[in-house]
Amino acid sequence: MTEQTHQAPCVLVTGGAGYIGSHTLVSLVEAGYRPLVLDNFSNSARQAIERVGVLCGETPECIEGDIRDRSCLDDIFQRHPVTAVIHFAGLKSVGESVREPLRYYDNNVAGSVTLLQAMQAAGVDTLVFSSSATVYAPGVTMPVAEDAPLGPINPYGQSKLMVEQVIRDHCLAHPTFRAALLRYFNPTGAHPSGKLGESPRGTPENLVPYIAQVATGVRDALTVFGNDYDTVDGTGVRDYIHVMDLAEGHVHALDALRERTGAHTWNLGTGTGYSVLEMVRAYEKACGREIAYTVGERRPGDVGTCYACTRKAASELHWQASRDLEEMMRDNWRWQVSQDA
């Protein structure tokens, strides 16, 4: 262990083996932090941590365990000088949350409460939480700002809003506690090395992983969910953000919390929306292959357009996304190809 890593502030990263978590580990190491991962590998594998090790020259310590396991958390806080927690651990499938709501409330809500209790007992007072643009009410004006009306329409989104509320209440009761509630828009892309990326299990629910599987021949064709929205070409518009921009946003959030207490909400998006067909064309350009698609029905619960107001994050986090759509698609494709290699 180098002297620098020894002195580096230790950040507990729950869910650090997952898609966004693993990319954030790279940004944390680059920024001089020492990440310590807690993951139960319910949607990831230890290999992701090893890949981070290859990229960073040092493999973050990784503990296999569950955020709902209080004794596991107490043990971690006792053994490691954790100064802050970045809390990614959670289940994230909207469809699954409709079928199995109790599993989502248990894992995402009860798990977060247990984590907060353990943090309080250990005197750790800094938390960055993975929330989602899905907490906004359907029909809000775009670009959507942090003070827009809230109203998630599925158990997954409800679980995110509930945890936000739990954290807000905890901050009110404990004035030294500080928390960043980061509302992600649509993360995509991969680390530019091609060594780290998203590995969805089963049939992807999200657009870009699905397109990627069409490009690699795993699936025959994309179904475009509706082409009769009031958008540029009738297909749904979203704010896609490069996962490395998102990862860097977490480092900025940690910095911002040094000079603030209480709960703070920040959108992490680019402020620009692209339609499904624009995404298909961008991916075709990156991979040099045609992406077959058919147009189907609208997906229940989808809105036509969603993109972020980025002003608050820019002024308070001193952060904004810098990677464009071409880079997102190119890095995603490099990751697909390197997995096949």
Calpha distance 125→59 (Å, rounded): 26
234 neighbors 302 (Cβ within 8 angstroms): no
By CB under 6 A, how many residues form the interface with ligand NAD? 28
Residue reference for tokens 């750790």: 124
* Closest CB to ligand NAD among residues 188, 320: 188
Contact 196, 335 (CB under 8 A): yes
Q: Is 152 in the site for ligand NAD (CB under 6 A)?
A: no
207 binding partner (options ligand WQD, ligand NAD, none; Cβ < 5 to 8 Å by kind): ligand WQD
Q: Is 157 in the site for ligand NAD (CB under 6 A)?
A: no
Place of tokens 């090893």: 50
The entry of ligand NAD, ligand WQD, none that residue 210 binds, CB within 5 to 8 Å by partner kind: ligand WQD
Q: Which does 323 bind (CB under 5 to 8 A by kind): ligand WQD, ligand NAD, none?
A: none
Task: Pick the stretch among 5-13, 60-68, 70-78, 112-120 that binds ligand NAD (CB under 6 A).
Answer: 60-68
Q: Does 208 bind ligand NAD (CB under 6 A)?
A: no
**Residue 302 binds: one of ligand NAD, ligand WQD, none (C-beta under 5 to 8 A by kind):** ligand WQD
Element (H, E) at 95: helix 94-99
Q: Taking CB under 6 A as the rule, does residue 93 contact ligand NAD?
A: no
Residues in the chain: 341
- Residue 136 known to be catalytic: no
Instruction: Give the Å distances, CA to CA, from 50 to 46, 88, 156, 283.
Output: 7, 18, 30, 28
H helix or E strand, kind and range, residue 138: none
List Cβ neighbours of 341 (8 Å cut-off, separation of 6 or more): none
Binding-site member from 112, 132, 158, 272 for ligand NAD (CB under 6 A): 132
Residue ranges in 16-69 assigned as alpha helix (H):
19-30, 47-56
Interface pattern 14-53 for ligand NAD (x via CB under 6 A):
xx-xxxxx----------------xxxxxxx---------
306 touches ligand NAD by CB under 6 A:
no
Shortest Cβ contact with ligand NAD: which residue? 18
Residues that bind ligand WQD (CB under 6 A): 92, 94, 132, 134, 186, 205-207, 210, 222-225, 236, 238, 276, 299, 302
* Phi/psi of residue 293, nearest 5 degrees: -150, 155
Q: Does 235 bind ligand NAD (CB under 6 A)?
A: no
Q: Contact between 236 and ligand NAD (CB under 6 A)?
A: no
Nearer to ligand NAD (CB atom), residue 39 or residue 290? 39
Is 89 an interacting residue with respect to ligand NAD (CB under 6 A)?
yes
Q: Is the dihedral of CA 169, 173, 175, 176 positive or negative?
A: negative
Spatial distance between the Cα atoms of 270 and 157, rounded to a whole number of angstroms = 21
Cβ 127 to ligand WQD shortest distance, Å? 18
Residue 136 DSSP symbol: B
Contact status, residue 92 vs residue 134, Cβ threshold 8 Å = no
Catalytic residue (one of 104, 136, 156, 240): 156
Q: Are the C-beta atoms of residues 76 and 2 closer than 8 Å to each other?
A: no
The rounded distance, in Å, linking the Cα atoms of 24 and 247 is 4
Q: Which residues are catalytic?
A: 156
Residues that bind ligand NAD (CB under 6 A): 14-15, 17-21, 38-44, 66-68, 88-92, 107, 111, 130, 132, 184, 187
